[in-house]
Amino acid sequence: MTAHSNGVLLAAGRTFRCALGRSGVVRADEKREGDGASPAGVWTVRRALWRADRLEKPLTALPLQMIASDDGWCDAPGDPAYNRPVRMPWPTSHEVMTREDGLYDVVVVLSHNDNPPVPGLGSAIFLHCASEDYTPTEGCIAIARDELVTLLEGMSTASTLEISPAVLP
């Protein structure tokens, strides 16, 4: 799968509309927490998360975890749990995984800055559901929920997602 900065994701022989970071695409070594940029590079697909209260369990070969009401994701660079899942309430800054806007109904966790996480180099870089108007993300990649569910069927831990600043002709 390749997500291009012009809002196109190429995957499974198909082209999908996608949203990327509000600040565009930056080199991975230039990525910083809170900059709103999507990190360029090839990222391994780690696992998937889903909201069981919003949709049926997706079919996938990925490790799949149901999102619980107290699930969060730490985005505080000074916290030892930085760029890791946490249970809320959490004392430092974190993402709430049970978003009301539906963007995290399905989440694919990518390998950006996770082995080990380096404080400040960006957290919670996901492939997730897009808003209806494809509003730019905070640094993630987002596609329509039904398309994401379909793509999950062909994903495994051998899958990768490339974020590219290149614009297709």
pLDDT in tens, 31-89: 999 999 999 999 999 999 999 999 999 999 999 999 999 999 999 999 999 999 999 99
CB 43 within 8 A of CB 29: no
Q: What is the largest CA-CA distance in the chain?
A: 47
| pTM of the full structure | 0.96
pLDDT, tens digit, 9 for 90 and up, residues 110-125: 999 999 999 999 999 9
Compute the distance between CA of residue 51 and CA of residue 57 in angstroms, rounded to an integer.
8
The closest alpha carbon to 126, from 30, 15, 5, 18, belongs to 18
Tokens of 40: 């360029």
Q: Hunting for tokens 């492939």 — which residue is that? A: 127
Tell me the two tokens of residue 114.
């996770």
Closest residue by Cα to residue 79 from 114, 108, 117: 117
